[in-house]
Every structure is written in structure tokens, then in C-alpha cells.
Amino acid sequence: MKLNKKLFLGLGSTLTGLSTVAMVVSCQEEIVDVKAQQDQSQHYHKTNYSNISSLVESKKAEVEKAKSENTFKELRIGLVTAGGDVNDKSFNQSMWEAVSQHSLQVGATWNRSVNSPGDKLANTYNSFMGTNLNVWVLTGFQQAEAFETWYKQNKDSFDSRDITVIGVDWSLPDGVVSPGKLITLNYKTEEAGWMAGYAIADYLSTKEQDDNKRKVATFGGGTGAGVLDFIAGYLQGIHDYNAESGNSKKTKLNTSNLELSTGFDAQDASNVRKVEVTVSSEDPKAVFPVAGSLSGTALEAIKKANKGQLIIGVDTDQSKAFEQDAKYFFTSVEKRLGSTLYRVLTDLWLQKGANSDILSGFSATSNAAIRDGYFNGFVDLSETTLAETDKTVAKASIEKAKQKFTQKVEAVKSKYENDNKKVDVKKEFNIPVMTISPDPKNAEALNALAAKINAQ
């Protein structure tokens, strides 16, 4: 059975009619050469929302040397976002910027992105099997279940091909996918969360003399670790600042019963109401939302109240996604999505193998489940974008928090081969451990920590 190559001509920033090509797994008489299809470079992002331009420049000489010596492995990349758009100035755009900048640097014109609804992901994987794409970048937590289900149904066909899947922000249990096929990237958000908590407490101790005005709020969309690790680190950072000798101006939570069930849908009126109540209760000076699009809801509530409240972003530097309202952002707890994906792609292309500082555990006989933190460039705090009158103080507090985090890690690294990257920060900083699956005990642990903070 011959495949219709025309089906793949438009495979780029949009992909339609995927259901019509679902049969490709069992009908691979012809593999479409993506390089022979439409030049995709016109869709590449040259923007820098993910702040990777200096990293890309630093790799230039190494890439040029590999090109001149012909020692690279050609990557043909397909990025699949589980809903959303690669122009969102946030998570998805960071992913596409990484692919785009890598592609421009190595001279690849055929790499492409697909925005796929969560219920159509299997169709997208099927369509990719009809091409010679050999790197699939699958982003978003929805893809964990979708790819696992699809892979189990198509294992033999997939394993017979030279394909590497890079999963961003999700993982699978060991043994599900054959060795040498899967790299997953996850982020120790509790580390940057701790720094954000410490920094906001230091900032408020400088700016607010009235004890009643040093209150903060946080809320989460659900009770799994993907959400609550941010908040667990944040609360512990506030606690640790308050506990330090000489820090008499304590920061408290606006409640010891945290709202951790807002969901993620800003179109749901009940979700919106939960956010509005959290933002208004006790007039917190800073709000830390970990609930997807409801960050925008919180921002609107802050603007409407007009009481000088600040917001802390999540995942990416959200001041860039809300450029008109950047003055409200104290900082953002960043997953360094673009830089980590760019590093993985470039090291795969360079065939660095065990010499890679990010992919040393990935080989033909081993998958790589990577979860890393601040010292390997996986998480960080964004620069503050507060108004000039507050920016200097905020900048100093953020820098102080990073220095304090580093000092605390340095103090215990002798337990971990004297390597900052190997320090178990959750254990050493007493950050509550959250289970991956939603669990009421996660909320209980965070509420207990909030109560402890409010009793300081």
C-alpha cells in the first residue's frame, strides 16, 4: 500500500487530517523523506523568550568544528505540544525556540512543530511513523499516558526504527520503553521554589514595617508533585528565612488551609472564584499561583484590587507572557525548558555520549530519566520586573536567596561526593516530599508547614 506524500507536505506549525494517516504503522512500504518536503525554516522562532541566545552562541565553535569534520549525527526533529501554541511566549514557545535555534545553528531546514489536542496524540505519533523523523520531542504531562499507551500497541514497529523520544515534563516507569529510545527531562522546582520563598520574605522584611502587611498567598491546581513541589519549596524558603537569627520581621501565609484544588481551567467559573477568594483574603502582598492559565486570573484580580500586590510566575519567565503587566512580577520560578532541550539536542547531534554534561546516562543500552536542579541549569529565578522604585530591593533579595541556597548546599555537599549537583536538597532543607500521584496527604503536609510558618 502506497502512502500519499501530499499528506505530509503541510507538516509544520499546523497538522490537519491526522486521522487519515493512522494506518501508517502497519503500512510502512514507503517512508516519507521530510527533507524533501516543504522548507520549514520560515516557521523557526528567532525570538528569545527562553533566554537561550548566549547558550547557543557558546556552542557555535563546537558545532562548526563538527560540521567541518563531519562528526555529527543528523537529527530530523518533530516537536509535539499537547495542546497550546508555540507562540504562547511561555512553555511551548520555549520548546520551539530550542528546536529552532538548534536547527538554524546546524543548518537543518526540515524540523517541524505540531500542536496536537490531547485526545489526538496517538494520531500524531502514527503520522510521525510515516516520516523519517528520528527525534520526537513530546512536551507536556498529557503525553506520558498517551505515549505509553501508543507505544505498547506499536512497540515492535517503533523499536525497529532509529527514533529517540525526548519527553519534557513527564516520565515513565523503568522498563516501559526499550533501552536507548527515551530521554525524559524533569525539573527540581522545589529548589527554585525555596529561593523564591526566601527572596519574597527578605523583600517584605525590607519594604513592609507593619506585620500585618507581610502576608503572602499561594494556590495550586491539584495535589500531585508536579504542582506541589513548587509550593513545598516556596513555603520552606519562607520558613527558613523567618527562622534565621536576626530576621525579626516574619512573613506569614494568609491562611493555614491552602487552596490546592483550583484546577487549571480559567474558563471554569468555580475555579476563577477560588482564585479571587485566595487573592483577596487578608490582602496578601504577594501571590504565587501554580495552576496553569489561572496565573492570568490571579493577575487580573491583583490589578482589579489595586492594592500594590505582586505576583510570582511559574514554569517560565511569565513577565514576558504578560508584557503589559510586567511591573507586577517579583520573579518567576523557572524551569529552564529551552536551554535544557537545546543542550540535549545539540549533544545528541554532536554525539557526545558519556562526555555530555546532561546526557551521560543515555546510550544504546540505557534510557535516561533526568531530573535536575539549579546547579545543572534546570531551574532558576527570573530577573525581577517590578517598577524601578522596588526593583533594586527585589533584585538584592533574589540575589541574596540564591547565595543563601548555594551556601546551604555547600555546607552539606561533603555527604555527596563534594558535588553540589548531587545534594538531596529536599532532604537537607527539610522540604516536604510530595507524591507524584495526587494525594490528600500532600495537602496535609503543606498545610502543616503553613501553620508552622504562621506560628513563627
Share of the chain above pLDDT 70, in %: 93
In angstroms, rounded to a whole number, what is the distance separating the alpha carbons of residues 359 and 348? 8
Q: Are 330 and 308 in contact (CB under 8 A)?
A: no
Which residue matches cell numbers 516536604?
Answer: 432
What are the CA-CA distances from residue 3 to residues 19, 39, 189 (Å)? 14, 20, 44
pLDDT, residue 184, reads: 98
Average of per-residue pLDDT across 217-230:
96
Angle subtended at Cα 100 by Cα 103 and Cα 65, rounded to the nearest 5 degrees: 30
Average of per-residue pLDDT across 247-274:
95
CATH 3.40.50.2300 assigned to domain 190-333+381-454? The reply is yes
pLDDT, residue 30, reads: 67
Q: Are 359 and 348 in contact (CB under 8 A)?
A: yes
In angstroms, rounded to a whole number, what is the distance separating the alpha carbons of residues 319 and 330? 9
pLDDT at 25 over 80: no
Residue spans of the domains in the chain: they are 5-178+338-372, 190-333+381-454
- Of the pLDDT bands very low, low, confident and very high (cuts 50, 70, 90), residue 84 is confident
pLDDT at 323 over 60: yes
Query: Dihedrals φ, ψ of 333, to 5°?
Result: -85, 105
- Reported as a single tens digit per residue, the pLDDT across 339-390 is 999 999 999 999 999 999 999 899 999 999 999 999 999 999 999 999 988 9
CATH 3.40.50.2300 assigned to domain 5-178+338-372? The reply is yes
Which residue matches cell numbers 520573579?
Answer: 331
The strands making up 164-168's β-sheet, listed across from edge to edge, are 112-116, 77-82, 135-139, 164-168, 182-187, 368-372
Q: Are 75 and 108 in contact (CB under 8 A)?
A: yes
- Reported as a single tens digit per residue, the pLDDT across 425-441 is 999 999 999 999 899 99
pLDDT at 4 over 50: no
In angstroms, rounded to a whole number, what is the distance separating the alpha carbons of residues 137 and 115? 12
pLDDT at 194 over 90: yes
Share of the chain above pLDDT 90, in %: 87
Query: What angle, 0 to 180 degrees and rounded to 10, lies between the N-to-C axes of helices 60-69 and 91-106?
Result: 40
Which residue matches cell numbers 519574597?
Answer: 200
The number of residues making up the chain comes to 456
pLDDT at 116 over 80: yes
Domain pair 5-178+338-372 / 190-333+381-454, same fold? yes
From the list 310, 264, 303, 6, the residue with the least C-alpha distance to 130 is 6
What is the pLDDT of the chain when averaged over all its residues?
92
What secondary structure, in 3-state letters, does the chain show? CCCCHHHHCCECCECCCHHHHHHHHCCCCCCECHHHCCCCHHHCCCCCCCCCHHHHHHCHHHHHHHHHHCCCCCCCEEEEEECCCCCCCCHHHHHHHHHHHHHHHHCCCCCEEEEECHHHHHHHHHHHHCECCCEEEEECCHHHHHHHHHHHHHHHHHHCCCCEEEEECCCCCCCCCCCCCEEEEEECHHHHHHHHHHHHHHHHHHHCCCHHHCEEEEEECCCCHHHHHHHHHHHHHHHHHHHCCCCCCCCEECCCCCECCCCCCCCCHHHHHHHHHHHHCCCCCEEEEECCCHHHHHHHHHHHHCCCCEEEEEECCHHHHCHHHHHHEEEEEEECHHHHHHHHHHHHHHCCHHHCCCCCCCECCECEEEEECHHHCCEEECCCCCCHHHHHHHHHHHHHHHHHHHHHHHHHHHHHCCCHHHCCHHHHHCCCCCCCCCCHHHHHHHHHHHHHHHCC
- Reported as a single tens digit per residue, the pLDDT across 132-149 is 999 999 998 899 999 999
